Structure formats: structure tokens, C-alpha cells
Amino acid sequence: MFPQMGSVLKELETEAVYIMREAAAQFERPALLFSGGKDSIVLLHLASRAFAPAPIPFPLLHIDTGHNFPETIKYRDEAAQRYGVNLIVRRVQDSIDAGLVSEEVGPHSSRNALQTVTLLGAIAELKLDACFGGARRDEEKARAKERFFSHRNSFGQWDPKNQRPELWSLYSGRKNVGENFRVFPISNWMEIDVWQYIKAQGIPMPSLYFSHERPIVVRDGVPLAHTEFLSPIAGETVETRTVRFRTIGDATCTGAVYSTASDIDEVIAELLDSKTSERSTRADDRRSDSAMEDRKAKGYF
Amino acid sequence: MATEFNPDAEIIRISTAGSVDDGKSTLLGRLLVDTDSVYEDHFENLRRTSEHRGETEVNLALLADGLKAEREQGITIDVAYRYFSTPKKRFILADTPGHTQYTRNMITGASTADAAMILIDARHGMTEQSKRHAFITSLLRVPQVIVVINKMDLVEYSEEVFREIEAAFRVYSQRLTITNLSFIPVSALLGENVVTRSEKTPWYRGPSVLERLEELTPEAKRTPPDVRLPIQYVIRPDQNFRGYMGRLESGVIRKGDEMTVLPSGQSVTIRQLFELDGEVTEASAGSNVLVTFDREVDASRGDMLVRPRNLPTITQRIEAVICWMAEEPSSTAKPYVLRQTTREVSASLEEVVYRFEVETLHRDEVGSLKMNDIGRVVIGTGRPIFMDTYEHNRPLGSFLLIDPVSNGVVAAGMANRVNASEVSNASREKGLVVWLTGLSGAGKSTVSDALVDLLKREGLDAARLDGDDLRTGLNSDLGFTPEDRAENLRRSAHVAKLFANLGHITLCSFISPLNADRRKIREIIGDRYVEVYVRASLAECERRDPKGLYKKARSGEIRQFTGISSTFEEPESPDFVLNTEGVSIDEAVQVLANVIRKRLENH
């Protein structure tokens, strides 16, 4: 079928599957946070392998900023169908309409931070007691401090200075009413592992990850997609370039990279040569040195 | 940065610890930068932050400190995980702070480590912190230890200083269980002996830190051959498929293997065995498996599959070393929850035997353990657990204690003795006398033998007391006159009572034919007495005649044989009547086991 996985991927997969089964056993109402990005795609694939021949015992939850690439939405719907899993979508627009949050204004505005409110609202509404996330420790320095089973208080907040000890592979999901957990099965994976795994398992990927021509606006040195949500400001121009995305999130803050890598082997080769991190194109992380930690403390992914 | 990806590299997990200023973060930063594991944008961030703080050089320590408070205060608060690779190895490094909550963090890092890196400041030598780290490394049996003697630049790369610290460390560790120990003189700040060997230390002929790391092997995954498969999750995708998922913690299982389910003791055969890629005929330790059985059994999360002739210890009493991790000190009065493999049971801390004084390795007598204390304790559990010692089998011997109110993890423990050598209060309360009365051949001994086995498998302390056994010793002076028979029963009842007081569920098989005697027995034993009438008709007993006694009685060879030549009075008010006619031994045993379980619950 597919080439045999090497020992590194096998060990990482074994760890991730164990954690998924453990969470499914310990929690009553888990959901898998699905963004359409590569990490959540891998998570979904792992879930299908972890529980086969039974169906995946939890739904997907997509927090939709409304600022999506159309390819992401198409992929999301197809993936839900392919894996036979229920898809729940909650929209940031609804939180805005309900007056729970207000839209940021100005050219740098993004709905990235607003997602937290919608996410916490969805957790409360759906009575979720655990959410699987595709966060990895090597992505970002605050994420390097995360547990596999990460406790959230009744306000959905992370208290990084007072985390529960996590020893051996004894993961405890015990909690009080109103509290919940984020579960990160691929914590120990590096970006290269994600792509090697995608290749080894033959997982179809959204076209955004491969090189294509696209009109872009270069802002602070980062090429951003020119979309209905993002227009050039004074001094910026729209140009068409060959790019791909290394990470996919909200279309307003996910930068592209100039690349001609058009298939998975070329993507892997490019990564092995890359001198910058995947999140270097994320405007949301560039806001401050502790941007990720600050957002996580409030309940972000 | 150039990412290395060797698909067949070994993953090595390392824990590091050091005192606040040992330069641990600098060493890690140096390893990451010099192995080309830092992206340019991350390094650029670092340069900007260092510059902003008015530092002249790029502060590599900032690379390892992920939290705002850590960067601000220049300390490491929580365990952080770092990743780097070389062509041969993939390293996952748990960077554990030597500051607040130091012990708890060190233990967390060490719990999964194949190797530990202990940092010592060459100017200060062994400190309480480095001793603590050595102690924890030994306690958690981390198989490989590298002592990095750092800041050698500040002691002019003196061999004498290095040798003194090495000697002091060896003296201290003589009393510990540390194997595979190496020492490296380093200047993390200047990169001496970190990645490449330094010219500043010509007297040192060993490897650099990175070279030493590359020699490490994944020792922590080593487990014994005993089959231990805790059930983690049960799937039932359709009526015909019931599958049990779990990680095989140790041993090898094959399709067709006969297994015992704990605690029920039921035996099953593995009908199908799956790994993630599909059906297989064999799976080995570490694998996430899915098994189906040849028959329906009652098994669920927290139960364990083992091989019939290789059981773990089934116990409700553990002697263990624990590290206390909560603000609130340990209490012998509070209930806790014990989590081991996939099993959770209620538990109590029965006794704190002593606390280790880490500096001197003395044992202090204390009433309770405070945050960061390490001590030896006795724990009793509400239900049996299936355990091996930590030394023998890490996944089976490690456990957590959880506060059922806050749900926080309050302690991590390693079992070092799991056999019930002394009677705990919990089990003492379980003492019971189950008095089986009935005709010879009714099945008393057969049932009690099988029941003792079953109860033992459930971790209960069961014992068997038989009229024949006592008559050959204690009661050998007695004959078969009515007076002697009464005396035989009186003595036997007293012995049974002593057994029960020690916590045994004591199964007594005595014909004890007379109501008067049975009343006396009930009086002697008191409220721990359960009278079971094992009933089968005389005709059936005579047909079974297991010892050939009926034949002898009919022929007159034996006189005064109950049922034939002396009376058997049907019990007036037995606690339970167990019919043994028309049912199998197994069924009878299960029925009686339920009676006993119910009785224990009502205690």
C-alpha cells in the first residue's frame, strides 16, 4: 500500500493513538478542533486509525472566522464525509452579531483573536469536556510548555504557571464541573514529521499547501493573499506570484511563502532546507513576543 | 537551520535539571543553535530581545524559556520540551526548572527519560540541588546519567576542580542506584565540549556533550517479558464485534493465546489481534492493540489481560516511594484516588514510614509529606490493583495519587513492594468466616478450594480451613464421640475466628451436623459468621462418594457416619443455602462468591 513508516513516525503515531484512545475513554463529550490545516488533518486521520473498525467516536468542531480560503471549506466538508464524521461549525460572525465581540478595525484587523470567544461559547453550548487540538510543542515557545492533557478552568483559561504534573504516560482527565481539557496528541511531532506522515499514509491535502499563482499583498515583508477580506493600504500593491502556504489559518493573517514546491516530495525537500519557522508567516504571532501565551491564557487553541 | 530527518532514527528522551544559575538554559540554547535546530526567525527574535534587555551577546538562555514570567525573571518555571536531531538520533529534551516546585518538575522530566543530564556549576561543586537531581534520577531509575560540569571557563579549565567534583558526586551516588555514569567538563557559554571537543581541556579524553548524547540508547522502554495488557477502551461497532483496546505494556501476545482477565479470573482465548495497519498474528510491548475473544466476557477499562501462569501481584496494599506534589500536605485521614495503568481505585495513605533527607540520605520520621518531599509510604486501596514493582516493570509499578475534591494530581509513586506482607486495616475489616455445613460429599471442600482461588485472584485474602486438616494436628487427641465432635468444632471455630481477625476470608468445611453445635459456633465467631448450607441429597452424596466413605459406612467399617449411622440436622437458619445438585462446580462457586462480595460490601 504505502511505504513502511520508519521508527520515528511509528513511535510518534503510537503515542498519539494512545492519547486519543485515553481521552475517548476518560471524557464523555470530546470533539476534535478542525481548522482544515495540516495538523488537524493529521489528527483526523489518526482518529480514524485509532478507533477502527469503529467510527470516530467524536465530532469535528470548526470555528469559522468567515475569512476562509474557499479551498479550506471545500476540503473540510469532503474530509468530514470521507472519514464519516459529524461536522459542527460555529461562526465568529454569529458572536459578532450577538454583540459578544466586536470586530477589530484597521488594515491589520483580524478575526483570529475573536475565535476564542466563539470557541469557548461552543464548548459551553455543546457541553464539551475535551477538545482535541493539533498544537505541537516545537511550533512556538509557549506551546513547548503544554501538557498532553491540558487543563482549562471553568473560564476556559490556561494557567501555565500552575499546570498539573504529567508523569510517565498516566494522563488524568479528572476535573470539576465546568472545567474542561484540551488534548494535544501530536505534541511531540515536528513539522517535518507531519509531512512525512502525510506522505506515508497518502493523506490527500488541500491545494493551498502546494505552489500556485495567486494575487498577493506584501505587508511587513510577509506575502498575504489578496482576498475580499484583505485589500492593500497606501504604498502596497497587488501582484501575482507563485506561492504556497506552509500553515493555514484565517486568510487575513496567514502568510504565504514564495515556493515552487508542487507536490509532497518537493514540499518535504523545501522544509528540510528551510531556514525559517512555519509560524514566521503568522501575523498573529508577530504581534508581540508573548502573543501566543497571552492568547492561550484566554482560551485560544 | 537544516532539519534532519532520518526516518529510522532512535528517539531518545532526556531530562535536564540544574540549579538556578548553573547555565542549563545556556547549554540547551547552545545545543540547539550548534546543531542547527533554531530557525532564523526564532534566533532573530532572540537577538532583538537580548538587545532590548541591554545584553551585549545573544542570550541563548532565552531560547529555552518559553513563558513571559520566565523571560522576565530569568528563571525557568515549568517543564518545557525541546526537539533536536542529528543524523543518528532524535532527541526530546525535557527541560526541568531548578527553581520553584523543583522536585515535582524533575520527577516529571525523569519519568519518561532514557537519560538524565545533571548540571553542576564548577565554581560551586555539588549543591543540594544537584544531589536532589542525582537522587531523583536514581529513584526513577533513569538508566543513563551524564554529569555536565559547567562554567569551566570560570575556573581556568582546571582538571583538579573537575576531578574533585567528580569524586564528590561518586561518593554521594555510591548509596544510590546509578549506572552508566559519565562526567564532562563544559563551558556552555563559550561552547567548549558542547558539540565538538575543546582544546581547553587537553586532560579530558571523553566525548563532547553531543557526542555522548548520540551514544545513548532508548533504555526507558525496556520491559520484562511478562504479558501485561491493561484494557483501555472497548469498542462495539456492531452486534457481532466487541473489541478491547489497550497498549501492551510488556511481553508478546499472539493470536490464539490463552489469557486470564483480571480481576474476574475468567479465561479467554485471543480470537483476533489487530494493530493499526490491520490484523496481525503477534504483537509486542509498546503496541496499541485491539483484541477480540472467543467468548463473551465481562471485561472493561481498568481490567487487565495477562497470561494464566504469569500473574502480576493482585493487592490492596502497596509499599511505595512517593513524591508529594501538592501545596496541601499528605494526610492519612483523607481519601485519595490511585491511578495505575488504566485503573482508578479509591486509596488511603495508611502510613508515612519515613521521609528522605536528600542532602544526607537520612531517613526522617515524619507524620506527613509536604510539597517536594520524597518518602516511603504504605497505601491501602479500596479495590485490588494488579501491580509489579517499579524496578521490575515501570508501567506496572508507577502510579499517581489524585485528590478527589480538587481532582489535582498530588503525588507520583513507585511501588517497591506489592505483596501483602502485613495486614492493613482495610483488609482486616474484610475478615469473614464462611462456614460450610453439609453432608460428606455435598461439595464443601471442592467449592471452598475453588472459591479460595477465585477470591485470591480478586486480590482478597482467602484461606481454607478443613476438618480433616485440624484433626491431624491440633485436634489429633479427639475421637468421634459426640463430646469429642463438639470439642473439635469448638476449637475449629476459635481458630477460624483468629483467621478472620487477621483479615482472611476463611472458608471452613465441616460437616457440623447438629444445630446445637452450629449455634455455639455462631456465638464464638460473632458477626463475622456466614453460615452456608451446602445441600445435596443423601442419595446424590452417596453416589458421588469421593472418599469412598459411604461404602465403608454401609459395610459397617466406619461407625457413626453422618447421614448413615448418625443424624444430620438440616440447619435452622443458614445465611445461605447452596444447592450443588444439578449445577456445575463453577456455577456454585460463582454464586457463593457473589454472596461473599455482597456481604463484604455491607461491612
The pLDDT score that the predictor gives to residue A291 is 67
The pLDDT score that the predictor gives to residue A27 is 97
Q: Could you report the per-residue pLDDT of B92-136, keeping only the tens digit for each?
A: 988 877 665 678 888 888 999 999 999 999 999 998 888 888 999
Q: Could you report the per-residue pLDDT of B194-204, keeping only the tens digit for each?
A: 999 999 999 99
Which whole number is the average pLDDT over A194-207? 95
Q: Rounded to an integer, what distance in angstroms lies between the CA atom of residue B384 and that of residue B21?
A: 46
| Residue bearing the bigger pLDDT, B98 or B185 | B185
Q: Rounded to an integer, what distance in angstroms lies between the CA atom of residue B268 and that of residue B304?
A: 12
The pLDDT score that the predictor gives to residue B422 is 42
Residue B531 pLDDT grade (very low, low, confident, very high; cuts 50, 70, 90)? very high
Q: Does A81 touch chain B (CB under 8 A)?
A: no
Among B50-64, B140-154, B213-227, B510-524, whose mean pLDDT is lowest?
Answer: B50-64
Closest CA to B438 of B551, B500, B518, B552: B518
- Residue to mutate among B6, B52, B90, with most A CBs inside 10 A, is B90
Given the DSSP bridges, would you call strands A222-225 and A212-219 parallel, antiparallel or unpaired?
Answer: antiparallel
Contacts of A157 (CB under 8 A, 6+ apart): A297, A298, A299
Contacts of A22 (CB under 8 A, 6+ apart): A171, A173, B232, B233, B342
Q: Rounded to an integer, what distance in angstroms lies between the CA atom of residue B434 and that of residue B529?
A: 6
Asked if the Cβ–Cβ distance from B245 to A277 is below 8 Å, we say: no
Domains of chain B, each with CATH number or no CATH: 10-221 (3.40.50.300), 228-306 (2.40.30.10), 313-425 (2.40.30.10), 429-601 (3.40.50.300)
Look-up: residue for cell 555536565? B148
CB atoms within 10 A of CB B40: 13
Nearest to B8 among A7, A188, A290 (CB): A7
Distances (CA, A) of A6 to A2, A52, B3: 12, 22, 17
Nearest-CA distance B420 → chain A (Å)? 25
In chain A, which residues have their Cβ closer than 8 Å to the Cβ of B395? 168-169
CB atoms within 10 A of CB B219: 17
CA Rg value for chain B: 32
Percent of chain B at pLDDT above 70?
Answer: 92
**Residue A187's closest chain B neighbor by CA?**
B81
Residue B300's Cβ-side half-sphere holds a number of Cα atoms within 13 Å equal to 4
Among A128-132, B75-79, B446-450, whose mean pLDDT is lowest?
Answer: B75-79
Asked if the Cβ–Cβ distance from B1 to A275 is below 8 Å, we say: yes
Among B267-276, B358-367, B393-402, whose mean pLDDT is lowest?
Answer: B358-367
Nearest-CA distance A177 → chain B (Å)? 11
Q: Quick one: CA dihedral B223, B228, B233, B238, positive or negative?
A: positive
Which whole number is the average pLDDT over B560-587? 88
* Annotated catalytic residue, options B330, B398, B492, B512: B512
Angle at B336 between CA B313 and CA B353, to 5 degrees: 65
Look-up: residue for cell 492519547? A19
Q: What is the dihedral of CA B197, B202, B206, B211, to 10 degrees?
A: 0
Average per-residue pLDDT in chain B?
A: 87
Interface of B with A in 362-421 (CB under 8 A): 394-395, 398-400, 402, 404, 406-409, 412
Nearest-CA distance B369 → chain A (Å)? 17
pLDDT higher than 90, residue A180: yes
Strands (E), chain A: 30-33, 60-64, 87-91, 130-132, 149-152, 180-183, 212-219, 222-225, 238-245, 256-258
Please name the amino acid found at residue A4. Answer: Q
Q: B213 near B82, Cβ under 8 Å?
A: no
Backbone angles phi, psi at B265, to 5 degrees: 80, 0
Residue B64's Cβ-side half-sphere holds a number of Cα atoms within 13 Å equal to 32
In chain A, which residues have their Cβ closer than 8 Å to the Cβ of B111? 167-168
The pLDDT score that the predictor gives to residue B424 is 45
Residue B19 pLDDT grade (very low, low, confident, very high; cuts 50, 70, 90)? low
Domains of chain A, each with CATH number or no CATH: 7-202+290-298 (3.40.50.620), 207-281 (no CATH)
Distances (CA, A) of B235 to A53, B277, B292, B298: 9, 17, 10, 14
The pLDDT score that the predictor gives to residue B4 is 63
Asked if the Cβ–Cβ distance from A49 to B276 is below 8 Å, we say: yes
Interface of A with B in 118-137 (CB under 8 A): 137
Q: What does the H/E/C string look like for B66-95?
A: CCHHHHHHCCCCCCEEEEEECCCEEEEEEE
Among B267-271, B374-378, B425-429, B540-544, whose mean pLDDT is lowest?
Answer: B425-429
Q: Rounded to an integer, what distance in angstroms lies between the CA atom of residue A295 and that of residue B76?
A: 20
**Residue A179's closest chain B neighbor by CA?**
B407
Highest mean pLDDT among A190-194, A239-243, B272-276, B477-481: B272-276
Q: A188 near A137, Cβ under 8 Å?
A: yes
Q: Rounded to an integer, what distance in angstroms lies between the CA atom of residue B414 and that of residue B388?
A: 10
Q: B98 near B3, Cβ under 8 Å?
A: no
Q: What does the H/E/C string look like for A13-77?
A: HHHHHHHHHHHHHHCCCEEEECCCCHHHHHHHHHHHHHHCCCCCCCCEEEEECCCCCHHHHHHHH
Q: Does A48 touch chain B (CB under 8 A)?
A: no
Among A149-153, A199-203, B103-107, B369-373, whose mean pLDDT is lowest?
Answer: B103-107
Q: Rounded to an integer, what distance in angstroms lies between the CA atom of residue B356 and that of residue B366?
A: 10
The cell numbers describing B98, all together, are 531548578
Asked if the Cβ–Cβ distance from A8 to B69 is below 8 Å, we say: no
Interface of B with A in 191-250 (CB under 8 A): 232-233, 235-237, 241, 243, 245, 247
Backbone angles phi, psi at B352, to 5 degrees: -95, 110
The pLDDT score that the predictor gives to residue B154 is 95
Q: What is the dihedral of CA A108, A109, A115, A117, to 10 degrees?
A: 130
Look-up: residue for cell 470567544? A117
Contacts of B347 (CB under 8 A, 6+ apart): B335, B336, B337, B338, B379, B380, B381, B382, B401
pLDDT higher than 50, residue B423: no
pLDDT higher than 70, residue A207: yes
Q: Rounded to an integer, what distance in angstroms lies between the CA atom of residue A42 and that of residue A187?
A: 12
Asked if the Cβ–Cβ distance from A54 to B237 is below 8 Å, we say: yes
Peptide bond into A223 cis (omega under 30): no
pLDDT higher than 70, residue A127: yes
Q: Rounded to an integer, what distance in angstroms lies between the CA atom of residue B550 and that of residue B65?
A: 84
Backbone angles phi, psi at B591, to 5 degrees: -60, -45
The cell numbers describing B544, all together, are 458421588
Q: Rounded to an integer, what distance in angstroms lies between the CA atom of residue A142 and that of residue B372?
A: 25
Nearest-CA distance A93 → chain B (Å)? 32
pLDDT higher than 90, residue A132: yes
DSSP state of B219: G
Asked if the Cβ–Cβ distance from B78 to A160 is below 8 Å, we say: yes
The pLDDT score that the predictor gives to residue A69 is 87
Among A154-158, A239-243, B140-144, B208-212, whose mean pLDDT is lowest?
Answer: A154-158
CB atoms within 10 A of CB A203: 17
Q: Could you report the per-residue pLDDT of B156-184, keeping only the tens digit for each?
A: 999 999 999 999 999 998 888 888 899 99
The cell numbers describing B437, all together, are 455445613
Contacts of B203 (CB under 8 A, 6+ apart): B159
In chain B, which residues have their Cβ closer than 8 Å to the Cβ of A8? 5-9, 11, 90
Among A188-197, A274-283, B305-314, B390-399, whose mean pLDDT is lowest?
Answer: A274-283
Q: Give B126-175 as a DSSP string.
A: S-HHHHHHHHHHHHTT-SEEEEEEE-GGGGTT-HHHHHHHHHHHHHHHTT
Q: Does A21 touch chain B (CB under 8 A)?
A: yes
First to last CA, chain A: 34
The pLDDT score that the predictor gives to residue A96 is 86
In chain B, which residues have their Cβ closer than 8 Å to the Cβ of A18? 232, 247, 288
Closest CA to A18 of A161, A137, A151, A168: A168
The cell numbers describing B39, all together, are 530557525
Q: Rounded to an integer, what distance in angstroms lies between the CA atom of residue A124 and that of residue B332?
A: 38
Q: Give B405-437 as a DSSP string.
A: TT--EEEEEEEEE-S--S--HHHHTT-EEEEEE
Q: B324 near B411, Cβ under 8 Å?
A: yes
Asked if the Cβ–Cβ distance from B39 to A277 is below 8 Å, we say: yes
Among A140-149, B322-331, B405-414, whose mean pLDDT is lowest?
Answer: A140-149
Q: Rounded to an integer, what distance in angstroms lies between the CA atom of residue B378 and that of residue B385?
A: 14
pLDDT higher than 80, residue B273: yes
pLDDT higher than 70, residue B74: no
Percent of chain B at pLDDT above 90?
Answer: 54
In the annotation, is B512 catalytic? yes
CB atoms within 10 A of CB A181: 25
Backbone angles phi, psi at B255, to 5 degrees: -55, 135
Q: What does the H/E/C string look like for B22-38?
A: CCHHHHHHHHHHHCCCC
